[in-house]
Homo-oligomer: A and B are copies of this chain.
């Protein structure tokens, strides 16, 4: 079982989906923290089925290709539940912009400012996106259903994470720009 296995089981725990559906979901809500292409999803679904964690039913369609609807099994739900509360080994970050920041003493200040301003904007746009997603989700919550026991709880938690992350990232980009501008300013006064 790789992490993707659990991502797929986590989606199938909500409701049955086709591989195509899962590929779409791995882009939009899950893509925030885990990604996979269809070329990785289809073989992985076959492996999950071979392991007895999912089953599929083929649906014949007119005017469209037939599709396979995958459903999580008891065994699949069991391993998913065991994994979800289990320990995580610290997975280190990989971020090329931070690496560039580390090398920023070598850069032309004007070009560096442009880069970090552009990145700030990108993260502010993503932030706006997550905030409206959260507002949409909040509007759909049924007060009769206990939030922590419904799939909406997960969406709620990860959108909060996304908002915190993007805001902090954008603020840091802004702060980097300020550090660069201070230096550029001092240089103008002195030179």
Contacts and interface: CB of A to CB of B under 8 A. Distances in A.
This protein's copies in its complex: 2
Contacts of A88: 96-97, 100, 115, 119
A88 B155 CA distance: 28
A115 B96 CA distance: 29
Contacts of A118: 87
A163 B33 CA distance: 20
Interface in A87-101: 87-88, 90-101
A157 interface: yes
A9 to B, nearest CB: 8
A103 interface: yes
B85 A112 contact: yes
A176 B33 CA distance: 16
Interface in A18-56: 29-35
Given A87-B115, A148-B109, A154 B34 contact: no
Interface in A56-95: 77, 80-81, 83-88, 90-95
Interface of A: 3, 6-7, 10, 13, 29-35, 77, 80-81, 83-88, 90-109, 111-112, 114-115, 118-119, 122, 146-158, 160-161, 164-165, 168, 171-172, 175-176, 179-180, 183, 186-187
